[in-house]
Copies of this chain bind each other. A is one copy, B any other.
Amino acid sequence: MNTTATESNPPTRESSLDRQDRQTAQRKPLSKDATHIIAIHAKSKSSTLSHDTPQMPSFLGFRNLMVLALVVMNLRLVVENFLKYGVLICIKCHDYRKQDLILSAILYAIVPCHLFAALSIEVAAARHIRGVLGFRKKNEDVKVEETSGQHDYTWTFIALAHGFNATLCLMITSCAVYYGIHHPMMGTISELHAIIVWLKICSYAFTNRDLRQAMLKSEDCTAIPELYSSCPYPKNLTIGNLCYFWWAPTLVYQPVYPRTPHIRWGFVAKRLAELACLSIFIWLTSAQYAAPTLRNSFDKIASMDIGSIIERLMKLSIISSIIWLAGFFAVFQSTLNALAEVMRFGDREFYTDWWNSPSVGVYWRSWNKPVYNFMKRHIFLPLIARGWNPQVAAIMVFVFSGILHEALVGIPTHNILGIAFAGMVIQIPLILGTAPLEKANSVNGKTIGNMVFWTSFCLVGQPIGALMYFFAWQAKYGSVSKAAL
């Protein structure tokens, strides 16, 4: 437009109204009386938003407007919330029973002991195998099958010992939390600690068993990864090696892990600072925004007013998503990276870019790598190796994970409702349903999948889960609890 409209412009100086003209105005000067006859409409053009426009315009500006709108809308809710409730944050009024604290401390101390029990079991097994191999050397003529055949009972006994030890670790904590600890936060932490150690014990036992088997069936030694060669089987059964596994940010045991050359303390400090800020942020948002929303939602649910319930769910979904994202970053980026740095643990892939997931399946494979790795190495692949159908194996994984989720949420809130379990199992149809979208080459296909994932997870699953647990908690204790947030 301007280029054509200013065919006969004077060379003007900087002008805020007509800067473009300046560039195209290096022509013959404009006569005083000829300005009003310039051909503004010199040639046919189509509107920017019409389909017959030569090239699609950029819509980056609308993205900026979107960001601005989100900021403004949330700021408005902050102001509204303040005008409605004032300041709800209060440190003193956060009461807990002394018994809870003591019990949590005891649990925190005894749970790791089971790891060392597992070590002693393994040491016994190693001593036994040395005997077996010595026996073999003496009479080469005896078939290996027979010798190892005779000792099946020993291996069964060791397996049983591990099973007993691991189960005990989980049982003690669960009972203590369910019956002894009222405060849901302390309960959740204790239960989570127990589950983590339990998974570590299982991994430790399984891995050492296979290392043992590989040692017996020497032809299988090829299966042992190169990485482990620096610390072959019985050598890894030391307290130091176990302690490293105990603190390493992983759930799968390896005699040897990739390590970083040194600890960058600056890196650690930054991650801890992030953790501190995010924890405060999460605490404030839960107390100031999530708690009141949940409280009003409670009445609405009680009154079964559909319209209001939907309205509440929507309001809750935004705040819960924000809190969840902050929590994710705090745990998987800040905490685990800080821990890994201190432990000089090399593999920091605790998650990949799950937020771009084109399907629910990709999300579950990428948001929580430590658990995903455990499930894959100790449940999924073994089942596959035994010739199971991958679909069924995947279902097993989600059922198992559902049980863990239920324990983690149900036990501390003293309400085994089965919602967390159902929430996990319901993922299977979702995964199968959205799987085709993964292979969609079109950007739209991926976007739709990504939208489905966000909707199902952040905007439906979470708020409903939170509401239901809060509802159950209210029904049982009639008081607000952080756990429900």
CB of B333 within 8 A of CB of A12, answer no
B50 lies within 8 A of A337 (CB): yes
- The answer to whether residues A454 and B65 also contact, given A36-B206, A329-B49 and a CB cut-off of 8 A, is yes
Contacting pair A347 B459 (CB below 8 A): no
Known: A5-B376, A432-B16. A257 touches B361 (CB 8 A): no
**Partner-contacting stretch, out of A117-125, A165-173, A208-216, A406-414:** A208-216
- The answer on a CB contact under 8 Å between B314 and A48 is no
- Least Cβ–Cβ distance between A279 and chain B, in angstroms: 18
Task: Indicate if the CB atoms of A377 and B45 lie closer than 8 Å.
Answer: no
User: Is A63 touching B61 in the complex (CB atoms < 8 A)?
Assistant: no
Counting chain B CB atoms within 10 Å of each CB, the highest count among A31, A224, A254, A307 belongs to: A31
A415 proximity list for chain B (CB < 8 A): none
* Complex CA distance for A428 and B321, rounded to whole angstroms: 42
Q: Is A294 an interface residue (CB 8 A)?
A: no
Cross-chain contact B385 with A32 (CB below 8 angstroms): yes
> Which of B42, B321, B380, B382 is A225 in contact with, Cβ under 8 Å?
B42
B-side contacts of A85, CB under 8 Å = none
Q: Which of chain B's residues have a CB closer than 8 A to the CB of A241?
A: none
- A147-196 at interface with B (beta carbon < 8 Å): none
**Which single residue of chain B is at the shortest CB-CB distance from A350?**
B47
**Copies per assembly:** 2
Q: Is the CB of B16 within 8 A of A391?
A: yes
The answer to whether B361 touches A16 (Cβ under 8 A) is: yes
Q: Which of B36, B50, B259, B432 contacts A378 (CB 8 A)?
A: B36
Contact with B along A54-79 (1 / 0, CB 8 A): 00011111111111111011011001
Whether a CB of chain B sits under 8 angstroms from the CB of A26 is no
Of B68, B349, B381, which one neighbours A38 at CB under 8 angstroms? Answer: B381
Which of A137-145, A281-289, A352-360, A471-479 faces chain B? Answer: A352-360
- Please, how many angstroms separate the alpha-carbon atoms of A373 and B459 in the complex? 48
For A79, list chain B residues within 8 Å (CB): 307, 310-311, 314
Checking B308, B350, B380, B382 against A83 with a beta-carbon cut-off of 8 angstroms, the contacting residue is: B308
Please tell me if the beta carbons of A458 and B65 are within 8 angstroms of each other in the complex. Answer: yes
Q: Is A98's CB within 8 Å of the partner chain B? A: no
Answer yes or no: A384 CB below 8 A from chain B CBs.
yes
> Cβ of A260 and Cβ of B69 under 8 Å apart?
no
Contact B64 A447 (CB under 8 A): yes
Contacting residue for A33 out of B76, B214, B254, B389, CB 8 A: B214
Given contacts A386-B32, A390-B18, A454-B68, contact A254 B41 (CB under 8 A): yes
Interface residues of A in 1-19 (CB under 8 A from B): 1, 5-10, 12-19
Contacting residue for A35 out of B35, B224, B365, B377, CB 8 A: B377
Other than the given A13-B390, A48-B351, A64-B450, 11 more pairs (CB < 8 A) read A1-B352, A5-B373, A12-B384, A32-B385, A34-B224, A45-B347, A59-B355, A60-B450, A65-B355, A69-B70, A69-B318
Could you list some 25 contacts between A and B, CB below 8 A? A1-B349, A15-B391, A15-B393, A16-B361, A16-B390, A16-B394, A16-B432, A18-B390, A35-B385, A37-B214, A39-B228, A40-B254, A41-B254, A41-B257, A45-B347, A47-B348, A57-B356, A60-B450, A61-B353, A68-B458, A69-B318, A70-B73, A76-B311, A79-B310, A79-B311
